[in-house]
């Protein structure tokens, strides 16, 4: 089922066109990743898709009654607004205590219900945001640089959580990230952005595309290759093993 379709989408921010002529769609259950250098319009595109920015031209069609779980890039909590985690989880829709406890456990922070939001560490904060998104039983989960401020193991753990959530809820996931090697490997489709869609396809296709290599050079694709290589190696090893058995 098609959840969201953008057609000829052109978006401006602060009077400047940052995204032009985007055609894209997200289907139920797939993981789509947006990659691109800083200022390439990734977050702007996300805001356009959720309707936070009105398009200059083109349009966005969403499935009727779609539930979007959105984990923003950052959420500034300055301490003026007193807010416990459980009160935060009930914005804008209230949930039962049980449901909240389950979501917090699912997100990996079972003991935080009564904590004040502004006392959370970066990793706890992101997980609470995830718990809030999960409580909406989303059709589409949007993660905008959700692992910012997490260290490598923390980020890897976070993505494992996402993968688990996706298979559990059968929701689609739209991710924006810099952690190219981890994120791309976990994606069904990748869109490479730089003011427009440069190239798109499976991670392998995008990684091999000259547009992608022009943007990211060999450094990141190197890391990506290493990650994939481990997979290859793993398969290769299995293969060896089988041969060995045969022998």
Instruction: Return residues touching other proteins (CB under 8 A).
Output: 47, 50-52, 68-70, 72, 75-76, 80-84, 87-88, 90-94, 116, 136, 142
Closest distance of CB 65 from other proteins, Å: 10
Q: Which is nearer to other proteins, 87 or 228 (CB)?
A: 87
Q: Is 183 exposed, middle or buried (0-12, 13-18, 19+ CB in 10 A)?
A: buried
Across the beta sheet with 172-176, what order do the strands follow?
Answer: 68-71, 140-144, 172-176, 31-35, 189-193, 197-201
Tokens of 157: 């753990």
Closer residue to other proteins in complex, CB, 84/148:
84
In the bound state with other proteins, the residue whose beta carbon lies nearer, of 93 and 167, is: 93
Minimum Å distance from CB 103 to other proteins?
Answer: 16
Which CB sits closer to other proteins, 141 or 215? 141
Smallest separation (angstroms) from other proteins to the CB of 172: 14
- Residue 202, CA atoms < 13 Å, CB-side half-sphere: 2
Shortest distance, position 82 Cβ to other proteins, whole Å = 5
Among the residues of 13-140, which ranges form H helices? 42-50, 85-89, 97-106, 122-135
The smaller minimum CB distance to other proteins, of residues 83 and 99, is found at 83
Minimum distance from CB of 157 to other proteins (Å)?
Answer: 24
Is the separation of the CB atoms in 177 and 156 below 8 Å? no
Q: What is the DSSP letter of 1?
A: -
């Amino acid at each position: 089922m098609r959840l969201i379709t953008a057609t000829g989408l052109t978006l401006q921010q602060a009077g400047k066109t940052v995204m032009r002529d985007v055609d894209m769609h997200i289907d139920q259950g797939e993981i789509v990743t947006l990659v691109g250098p800083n200022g390439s319009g990734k977050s702007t595109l996300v805001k356009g898709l959720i309707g936070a920015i009105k398009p200059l031209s083109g349009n966005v069609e969403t499935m009727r009654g779609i539930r979007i779980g959105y984990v923003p890039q950052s959420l500034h909590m300055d301490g003026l607004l007193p807010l416990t985690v459980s009160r935060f989880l009930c914005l804008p829709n209230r949930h039962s205590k049980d449901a909240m406890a389950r979501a917090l456990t699912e997100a990996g922070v079972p003991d935080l219900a009564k904590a004040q939001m502004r006392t959370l560490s970066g990793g706890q904060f992101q997980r609470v945001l995830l718990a809030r998104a999960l409580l909406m039983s989303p059709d589409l989960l949007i993660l905008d640089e959700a692992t910012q401020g997490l260290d490598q193991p923390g980020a890897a753990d976070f993505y494992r959580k996402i993968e688990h959530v996706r298979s559990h809820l059968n929701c689609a996931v739209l991710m924006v990230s810099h952690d190219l090697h981890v994120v791309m490997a976990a994606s069904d489709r990748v869109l490479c952005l730089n003011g427009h869609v440069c190239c798109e396809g499976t991670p392998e296709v995008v990684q091999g595309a000259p547009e992608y290599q022009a943007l990211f050079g060999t450094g990141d694709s190197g890391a990506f290759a290493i990650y994939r290589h481990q997979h290859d190696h793993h398969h290769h090893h299995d293969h060896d093993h089988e041969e060995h058995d045969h022998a």
